């Protein structure tokens, strides 16, 4: 494993320093919201615990998707197919001070939740 380019400690994974990445995520907590405090806290806690880029959850605003198509209706909501403009977070670029991403314009599945404003933290833990 290599060393973090910010704190020079041992990375927890490829280009991934848990402590530094948690700090970068925390800086953005005020910049986004799902509109549901429990969902926001669930995502924030997942970000703070992430040990690599495959374990990151992030809130993605609706306008970051296009070609959204309905696929099916399920028990808790609906499923859609869409193209995600930005792609997945892979690592923090210390030079540009931004997240580096892969797979821009990637097809993804989206799940809408019925009454998502009423989703509780207990429900999210079950998911």
Q: Let me know: does 19 contact 7? Beta carbons within 8 Å.
A: yes
Closest CA to 14 of 107, 108, 103, 100: 100
What's the average model confidence in pLDDT over 99-103? 91
Residues 78-87 pLDDT 10s: 889 999 999 9
Here the tokens at position 119 are 């989703």
At 14, list the tokens: 């490829």
**Residue 50, CB half-sphere, CA atoms under 13 Å: how many?**
27
pLDDT at 19: 81
Identify the band that residue 91 occupies on the pLDDT scale cut at 50, 70 and 90: confident
Mean pLDDT value across the chain: 82
Please, what is the Cα angle at 55 between 54 and 61, to 5 degrees?
90
Evaluate if residue 125 carries a pLDDT over 70.
no
Check residues 52 and 84 and name the one with the higher pLDDT.
84
Q: pTM of this prediction?
A: 0.73
| DSSP character at residue 23 | H
Residue 127 pLDDT more than 60?
Answer: no
118: pLDDT strictly greater than 70:
no
**Are 56 and 47 within 8 A, CB to CB?**
yes
> What integer pLDDT is reported at residue 64 of this predicted model?
95
Q: What is the largest CA-CA distance in the chain?
A: 48
What is the pLDDT at residue 49?
85
């Amino acid at each position: 494993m290599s060393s973090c380019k910010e704190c020079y400690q041992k990375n927890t994974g490829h280009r991934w320093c848990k402590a530094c990445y948690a700090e970068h995520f925390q800086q953005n907590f005020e910049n986004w919201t799902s509109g549901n405090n429990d969902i926001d806290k669930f995502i924030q806690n997942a970000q703070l615990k992430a040990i690599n880029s495959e374990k990151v959850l992030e809130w993605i605003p609706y306008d970051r998707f296009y070609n959204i198509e309905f696929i099916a209706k399920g028990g808790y909501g609906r499923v859609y197919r869409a193209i995600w403009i930005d792609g997945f977070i892979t690592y923090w670029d210390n030079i540009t001070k931004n997240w580096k991403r892969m797979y821009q314009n990637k097809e993804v599945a989206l799940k809408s939740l019925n009454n998502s404003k009423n989703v509780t933290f207990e429900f999210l833990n079950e998911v």
